[in-house]
Chains A and B, each alone.
Chain A
Amino acid sequence: DGGITQSPKYLFRKEGQNVTLSCEQNLNHDAMYWYRQDPGQGLRLIYYSQIVNDFQKGDIAEGYSVSREKKESFPLTVTSAQKNPTAFYLCASSILTGNDGYTFGSGTRLTVV
């Protein structure tokens, strides 16, 4: 089945650590996105990529980094510079043009311990 997979489902980070969240899709989508969701709140765009080896900052990119070395993969690194990383992280993908929406992964819950 085609879909988008995020791993791990739960992740714990110690103060000062970098952690990487995985996002893989087999939908042949060109575009991929990372969102942050805080409890009971909406989605905030962190980074997005429309083509391999290229990506753009979203609204809250500080303290995060991404790479897009393969079309299928768009990992997100939460660096030690992100002072409040505890949140639910959602990855999504889509075709670039047309009238389709996004396909979302099931999310990763990151907690600082």
Chain B
Amino acid sequence: AQSVAQPEDQVNVAEGNPLTVKCTYSVSGNPYLFWYVQYPNRGLQFLLKYITGDNLVKGSYGFEAEFNKSQTSFHLKKPSALVSDSALYFCAVRKTDKLIFGTGTRLQVFP
């Protein structure tokens, strides 16, 4: 069965430090992978996606994600965190007609 796992409920990082939010997936064939961000009382906003090609994908707000096929991972990264990056982050995988979402990781960036 297709699934997505976000092993950390919360990630804490100091402003200016690099951040990583982890995601692993389980799907047959080639996956289409996505990251979304949700600010309080808002809908989910698209950050980036991996379809094919370069394993390092660049997205909005300075975020990037690294696709690793051998480890079935798609970790979200940012070289220097901002307090305004504090939000809920969702990883998702698309197979055929629906997205399968992870449970979400809350990122807290401290000044």
List chain A positions with a Cβ less than 8 A from chain B.
Answer: 6, 31, 40-43, 48, 50, 88, 90, 92, 94, 96-97, 99, 101-107, 109
Contact = CB atoms under 8 A, between A and B. Distances in A.
A50 B97 CA distance: 9
Interface string B87-106: 00010101011110111101
Interface stretch (B20-28, B41-49, B60-68, B69-77): B41-49
Name the residue among B36, B45, B90, B98 with the largest chain A CB count within 10 angstroms: B98
B36 A101 contact: yes
A48 B98 contact: yes
B99 A101 contact: yes
B90 A42 contact: yes
Interface residues of B, number: 23
B42 A102 contact: no
Given A6-B43, A43-B90, A102-B44, 5 more contacts: A42-B103, A101-B92, A104-B36, A106-B43, A107-B41
A97 B103 CA distance: 24
A30 to B, nearest CB: 9
Contact of A42 (B32, B34, B42, B101): B101
B36 A99 contact: no
